Amino acid sequence: QVQLVESGGGVVQTGESLTLSCTTSGFASDYFAIGWARQAPGKEREGIACISGRIRGKEDSHYVDSVKGRFNISREFGKNTVYLQMNSLKLEDTAVYYCATDKWTECTWIPNMEFWGKGTPVTVSS
């Protein structure tokens, strides 16, 4: 049974950092793409970062423009955990953050991924 559990959300001030974790079970997540998405109040869920499955020791990462240069997605190989390090947080980063997968090696359109966690809330205050 594929499961994803997010953790690490909280309340921070603008400019601060926060690291989210996505712990997976039920599949060998090191070899599959894991995406992070967020949903702000009143807005649609948007994919923001994705890390591909590891092939021949390598993996790719992708970011939406609004977080590029501020957020970093990484994987702790062998621990079934993917992280989203968020730096220089802005008010507009306030949202519920989700991790997801569709058990493909390459990153695909995150909102269409099949398996989702329940999310962890992040609030950025001034």
For the residues of 19-54, what is the DSSP string, one character each?
Answer: EEEEEEESS-GGGS-EEEEEE-TTS--EEEEEEPPP
pLDDT, residue 119, reads 98
pLDDT digits (tens, 9 = 90+) for 42-97: 999 999 999 999 999 899 999 999 999 999 999 999 999 999 999 999 999 999 99
Percent of the chain with pLDDT over 70: 100
Quick one: what percent of the chain has pLDDT higher than 90? Answer: 94
